[in-house]
């Protein structure tokens, strides 16, 4: 198994039955001996950020289900370190968080495009060694991340596109039904 590090993409095994992670793709922000966390990239919620933050009323940027942990918190990934200070560099092109008020002001002034930022409600988290155990059990496939995958406009293709990056036999998984007994 390759070394898991921040920026790794976790692709849910096609047969994973956990409803929180069914056919999900997670961008991993942290992976240490104490635990790991990241955000589900391919579960857009039914509401927009203007529905959650009164200062952004009328802003129609989508909000994504980040995961089952702390569903009352808003997080964001972006690729604008020159505009949003304090973000943590995860890859050369992707930053996690930063000054929340700056992000809100930039959205108010329409200085960010949807392909520059991803907003999440909650996050996906694992306790000590939990993610390593799930990786050993083959619950997750792993690949590299790219800004194109993280900030894509085509959210419904993220799981398939991530599998395509693995190539070979993994590309065949794209066509598997959620429940193979229905095939």
Instruction: Compute the distance between CA of residue 55 and CA of residue 50 in angstroms, rounded to an integer.
Output: 7
Query: What is the residue whose two structure tokens read 């992670």?
Result: 21
The confidence score (pLDDT) of residue 13 equals 82
Query: What is the phi/psi pair of residue 131, to 5°?
Result: -65, -40
Instruction: Report CA-CA distances (Å) from 156 to 19, 44, 49, 169.
Output: 17, 9, 20, 21
Query: What is the residue whose two structure tokens read 């949003």?
Result: 84
Instruction: Compute the distance between CA of residue 27 and CA of residue 95 in angstroms, rounded to an integer.
Output: 11
Question: Do 17 and 103 meet the contact criterion of CB atoms below 8 Å apart?
Answer: no
Q: Encode pLDDT of 84-122 as tens digits.
A: 999 999 999 999 999 999 999 999 999 999 999 999 999
The confidence score (pLDDT) of residue 138 equals 87
Instruction: Report CA-CA distances (Å) from 51 to 54, 61, 113.
Output: 7, 10, 18
The confidence score (pLDDT) of residue 170 equals 66
Q: Encode pLDDT of 165-177 as tens digits.
A: 887 766 566 655 5
Instruction: Compute the distance between CA of residue 179 and CA of residue 183 in angstroms, rounded to an integer.
Output: 7
Determine the 3-state secondary structure of 156 from DSSP: helix
Q: Which two tokens stand for residue 104?
A: 């809100």
Q: Answer whether residue 182 shows pLDDT above 80.
A: no
Q: Enumerate the domain spans of the chain.
A: 9-182
Local structure of residue 3 (DSSP, 8 states) = P
**Whole-model pTM?**
0.90
Q: Encode pLDDT of 14-64 as tens digits.
A: 777 777 778 899 999 999 989 999 999 999 999 999 999 999 999 999 999
Q: Answer whether residue 1 shows pLDDT above 50.
A: no
The confidence score (pLDDT) of residue 176 equals 56
Q: Which two tokens stand for residue 180?
A: 């193979």
12 or 78, greater pLDDT: 78
CATH number 2.60.40.10 given to 9-182: no
Determine the 3-state secondary structure of 7 from DSSP: coil
Question: Do 84 and 73 meet the contact criterion of CB atoms below 8 Å apart?
Answer: no
The confidence score (pLDDT) of residue 159 equals 87
Nearest to 47 by CA among 34, 56, 35, 60: 60
Q: Encode pLDDT of 85-95 as tens digits.
A: 999 999 999 99
């Amino acid at each position: 198994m390759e070394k898991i590090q921040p920026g790794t993409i976790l692709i849910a095994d096609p047969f994973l039955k956990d409803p929180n992670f069914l056919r999900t793709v997670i961008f991993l922000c942290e992976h240490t001996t104490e635990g790991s966390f990241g955000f589900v990239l391919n579960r857009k919620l039914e509401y927009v950020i203007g529905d959650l933050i009164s200062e952004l009323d009328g802003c129609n940027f989508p909000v994504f289900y980040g995961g089952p942990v702390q569903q009352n918190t808003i997080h964001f990934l972006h690729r604008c370190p020159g505009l949003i200070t304090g973000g943590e560099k995860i890859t050369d092109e992707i930053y996690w968080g930063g000054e929340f008020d700056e992000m809100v002001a930039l959205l108010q002034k329409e200085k960010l495009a949807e392909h520059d930022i991803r907003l999440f409600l909650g996050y996906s988290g694992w306790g000590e060694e939990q993610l390593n155990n799930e990786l050993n059990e083959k619950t997750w496939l792993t690949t590299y991340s790219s800004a194109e995958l993280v900030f894509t406009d085509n959210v419904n293709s993220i799981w398939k596109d991530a599998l395509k990056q693995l190539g070979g036999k993994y590309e065949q998984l794209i066509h598997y039904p959620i429940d193979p007994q229905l095939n």
